[in-house]
Chain A
Amino acid sequence: MSELTLERGLAAFRAEVDGPVAAFFSSCVHCGICAQACPFYVETGDPKYTPILKLEPLRRVWENDFTLWGRIKGLIGLQQKVTDQMLAEWEELLYDSCTMCGRCSMVCPVGNDLALMIRKSREGMVQSGHAPEGLIAASVRAIQTGSPMGLQWKTLAVQIKHVEDSSGLAVPVDKDGAEYLVLLSSMEVINFPEYLEAITRIFAHAGVSWTLSTDCFEATNAGIQIGNKDVAAELVERVVAAAEKLRVSKVISPECGHAFTAIRWEGPNLIGRSYPFKVFHIIEVLDELRAAGRIQTEGMETDRLSMHDPCNLARKSGVIQQQRNLMNLVAENFVDLKEHGKLQWCCGAGGGVSSNERAEPLKMAAFKHKKAQIEEVNAERMVTMCATCRTQLEEGLEEFNMDIPVVGLTEMIAEHLVEKPRPASPADAQA
């Protein structure tokens, strides 16, 4: 790989400037309201974490190279240049203190989509050699092993065996022509093996035809978190190839937020073509099955449950009502956090922050906002549907000595399934 330089970085920044970026920077009046939407500013009180300030390198590139006024300024030597030193300083602002949760984009009075511009800025940061070590390592592992955590199929195979032993059901692998290809996230496989068992049981219950693929089981995309289109496109291509090979019509993204936005919204643009299949988050699929009457549950959770909407799922993908429908199916004492859905607050760990060890103190600081929200409604247990959020909630609540367990919504649904007798096979019917 050729060397990463400021010049390459600036070229990458330039390549990211488009009409929306020009409209956004043309419209900013420095009102500072974006800071009030950012958990990193709100919880630290440090003005350097103001979202629009994080975008200063991209703004300078836009003004210098894409505006008449910037060029005139250049002629008289008044341009503010982007320097290597500046980018080094901005690395913390663009990576450690931003999860690209998009809350600022929802709140900006002039309508600036700041999260989109952070995503774009990271492309320039990578090319100029200013990306965090932790994210570089995750990207390299993802490309080399297929998993950002270096997880291999043989580990998953062991887990599949456990699931089959414990559930008495078969986990379909490489089943040609299945309806759904199920993707997983490494963090889920390692931290929350109950997820795989849950979908195995739910899909058997609902009679869903599905499969895993030995070619590609990983849904997460380190390339999107670090901000490198080449890496991101390569990871998307692997999913597409696996789905095409097995001729599935639908692909399911797991309980992971960014994996879903990566494959659902960015993926087709990264590879420059539409997919021959549809993409769903597992929560969308479960709610469709519920609506179609294919999931029968019994019993209700009785404790006071609340729910954390993952930013990537709710605000950035429009999956908001589905998880509530599913909660109401199995929980009788469910209460929403005050600000939820499209205006939820980020857990503090997404967008690559949790893969960036250096950002740990900031990640915990940002979590304090979620903690306050949870305390406000006196939740006894939290439910969520993203492995990164779930890990952050568990670690954060433990850090503050709060005895509030966190569960995944999919596994909670699985626990309430009505035990069905095996459906009669055609042979039985004839007899």
Chain B
Amino acid sequence: MSGSMEFLLWTKGPMFNVAIAIFAIGLLVRIAEIFVLGRERNYAEPRASEWLPGLRTVFTRTVADPGTFKRAPFNVVVGWVWHIGFLIALLLFVPHIKLIESLTGLSWPALPNPIISMVTAVTLVALIATLIHRMTHPVKRRISTIEDYLVWTVVFAVVLTGFLAFNRMINPYPLVLGMHILSAEIMLILLPFTKLTHIFTLFIARWYNGAAFGRKGVQS
């Protein structure tokens, strides 16, 4: 028991600081890499400004167009389900809000715990579905790399250990909570160096896309 308590304290203390530092510096470098490269001046006479169309695409690209939805319904629906489930568990669970409050001072209302537990279970099922899809769909199989499976494993571990800890399914409790915190820290550390970066860069990518098309008078 004392060993598991030490482990928990380590994940909450030194390891947490290391993870946050690597995450923050790594992400900053990654974002800087994008903006330092920048864009060349565009001499072609625009049809419209770039800012508004860029911002619009940041939001609109969240929803698939009807044709794409029809051709890839599984991709769209399962992707939505697990992303929303993950965000709900991350942002609307009491202990998570307390943690964010202790770091930033910001706080908001939580969802009742049984709902969080149910959402987490659905997220786990959806994540398993994405893995099966990745391993069986010809396109996904062809383009997947070790990184895709590594990132899947880490994300799945974060959600699974959270679910196990919440439902007290592993003893001692400090061990499973420590495992949850550690897997979240591994996710933070990997974030700037893997496709997890999209959590931040997708807004930049969508803006560039919307700006480029918007400039030509097309809402993308």
The chain A residues found within 8 Å of chain B, CB to CB, are 17-24, 26-33, 35-37, 41-42, 45, 47-48, 50, 52-53, 66-69, 105-113, 116, 264-269, 272-275, 278-279, 314-320, 338-339, 342-343
Contacts and interface: CB of A to CB of B under 8 A. Distances in A.
B184 to A, nearest CB: 19
B86 interface: no
Contact of A111 (B47, B61, B72): B61
A343 B67 contact: yes
Interface in B194-220: 195, 197-198, 201-202, 204-210, 212-213, 216-220
Given A18-B40, A30-B148, A269-B44, 18 more contacts: A19-B34, A19-B39, A23-B208, A26-B197, A66-B37, A67-B30, A67-B33, A68-B30, A106-B213, A107-B68, A110-B201, A111-B58, A111-B202, A265-B44, A269-B40, A318-B218, A319-B217, A342-B220
A107 B29 CA distance: 28
Interface string B136-174: 011111111100100000000000000000000000000
Contacts of B207: 111
Interface in B118-133: none
B112 interface: no
B143 A32 contact: yes
B208 A47 contact: no
B2 interface: no
B109 to A, nearest CB: 29
A116 B212 contact: yes
Contacts of B37: 17-19, 21-22, 66
A314 B218 CA distance: 8
Contacts of A30: 140, 143-145, 148, 195
Most central of B57, B61, B140, B202 by chain A CB within 10 Å: B202
A274 B72 CA distance: 42
Contacts of B40: 18, 269
B33 A66 contact: yes
Contacts of B33: 22, 66-68
Nearest to B29: A68
A136 to B, nearest CB: 27
Contacts of A36: 68, 71-72, 75
Interface centre among A107, A316, A320 (most CB of B within 10 A): A107
Contacts of A274: 43-45
A264 B38 CA distance: 23
Contacts of A37: 68
Contact of A23 (B141, B148, B204, B210): B204
Contact of A29 (B39, B57, B195, B220): B195
Contacts of B72: 32-33, 36
Contacts of A32: 72, 75, 137, 139-140, 143
25 contacts: A18-B38, A22-B33, A27-B197, A29-B198, A30-B195, A31-B79, A32-B75, A33-B75, A36-B72, A37-B68, A68-B30, A68-B33, A110-B202, A111-B58, A111-B202, A111-B205, A111-B208, A266-B44, A268-B43, A272-B43, A275-B45, A279-B45, A317-B218, A318-B217, A319-B217
Contacts of A28: 195, 198
A43 to B, nearest CB: 12
Interface residues of B, number: 61
A41 B44 CA distance: 32
Given A26-B34, A53-B142, A265 B198 contact: no
Contacts of B202: 27, 110-111
Contacts of A29: 195, 198
A354 to B, nearest CB: 23
A315 B137 CA distance: 29
B10 interface: no
Contacts of B71: 36, 42
Contact of B205 (A24, A319, A338): A24
Contacts of A52: 143
Contacts of B220: 105-106, 342
Given A22-B33, A264-B44, A315 B208 contact: no
Closest 7 CB pairs of A and B: A318-B217, A111-B206, A268-B43, A47-B142, A111-B209, A32-B139, A26-B201
Interface in B91-137: 137
A105 B216 CA distance: 14
B53 to A, nearest CB: 11
Nearest to B30: A26
Contacts of A343: 65, 67
B208 A24 contact: yes
Contacts of B41: 269
A69 B43 contact: no
B67 to A, nearest CB: 5
Contacts of A50: 139, 142-143
B193 interface: yes
A53 B67 contact: no
A431 B36 CA distance: 72
Nearest to A80: B145
A30 B218 CA distance: 26
B169 to A, nearest CB: 30
Contacts of A67: 30, 33
A368 to B, nearest CB: 15
Contacts of A264: 44
A23 B205 contact: yes
Contacts of A47: 138-139, 141-143
A215 to B, nearest CB: 23
Contact of A22 (B34, B138, B142, B206): B34
Contacts of B75: 31-33, 36
A27 B217 contact: no
B39 A18 contact: yes
Contacts of A278: 45
